[in-house]
Amino acid sequence: MKINFRGLLYSSLLISSLIFNCKETYANEKRSITGINLGVYEKGPYLGIYSDINKRNQVEVGINYLDVPIGSYDANFSEKIKGRLSFAGLRLLYRRFYKPKIDNGIYTEAGLELSRISAYSTIKLSELTYKSGNLSVRCPTCSSMDLSIRPSTFELIPSLSIGWKQKITPRISLNSSIGIQYKKIKNANWTYNTNQFMPLFVKNEVDQAIIKVNKDLEDLPTIFPTLMFSISYRFN
């Protein structure tokens, strides 16, 4: 899977410049970037840049990317299939502290993430065994097949969290947050990697496997937990 990571970075910098350089309605001074935030959350490594609005409020824009194996999955083939999971996204966060001390203490956070989440696997059909009547047969002439859950566009994922920021030095702080996010998982589909004929007994098992995968996806919830740990560095 090809992710335009450079495009995500440019987009985040553009959005952050629009946010962080805007003027408050009650002031005439330009807003500047306050610091950076480096950490990890459920969708992988994260890099953000943030700005203080006032003594209680912050805004942040960040990017994340991760592509990792997720082990084997039973899709009703003769063998389990191995898959990979990929995350790429751009996050906009609004953070409000309970006490007028923005570099320490408890806070709530609302997020909106422009994200692409994909799960995919390449299945070597020639290495599997199939049922044809009462017989178990192979298809040595079969090519490989891509099984994927790949949205064609990025989707918006809203989230709400509560967190704690602990000041370590005048410039460095540790952050942790936990919350919930809304995400509806798309259905899976498959693509045969050749124009070569696929035998009917192979196609039948592939179709049954897709039905099982999509049934499992439909049983997934739409509310998922979100968790982040990070280190922030303040420029001034």
Q: What is the pLDDT of residues 94-113, one digit of tens each?
A: 999 988 777 789 999 999 99
pLDDT confidence of 77, banded at 50, 70, 90?
confident
Distance CA 163, CA 96 (A): 10
Q: What is the pLDDT of residue 230?
A: 96
As a residue count, the chain comes to 236
Mean pLDDT over the full length of the chain: 83
* Predicted pLDDT of residue 20: 44
Instruction: Assess contact for 109 and 163: CB atoms under 8 A.
Output: yes
Question: How far apart (Å, rounded) are the C-alpha atoms in residues 111 and 92?
Answer: 6
CA distance 186 to 129: 28
Q: What is the pLDDT of residue 152?
A: 62
pLDDT given at position 8: 46
Measure the CA–CA gap between 67 and 63, rounded to whole angstroms. Answer: 14
How many whole angstroms separate alpha carbon 196 and alpha carbon 224?
41
Max mean pLDDT among 75-89, 91-105, 216-230 falls in 216-230
pLDDT tens for 11-50 read 444 444 444 444 443 343 445 899 999 999 999 999 999 9
pLDDT score for 96 = 94
The residue type at 157: I
**Highest mean pLDDT (candidates 2-11, 96-105, 117-126, 150-159):** 117-126
Q: Do 111 and 95 form a contact (C-beta atoms < 8 A)?
A: no
Would you state the pLDDT for residue 198?
A: 86
For residue 65 the two structure tokens come to: 């990317």
**57 phi-psi bin (left φ>0, alpha ψ -120 to 50, beta other):** beta
**Distance, CA of 147 to CA of 140 (rounded, Å):** 19
* Sign of the four-CA dihedral 91, 96, 100, 106: negative
CA 184 to mean position of chain CA atoms:
12
CA-wise closest residue to 177 among 31, 70, 62, 87: 62
Mean pLDDT across 51-70: 92
Task: Tell me how far the alpha carbon of residue 188 is from its chain's centroid.
Answer: 17
Q: Which of 24-33, 36-45, 53-62, 206-215 has the lowest mean pLDDT?
A: 24-33
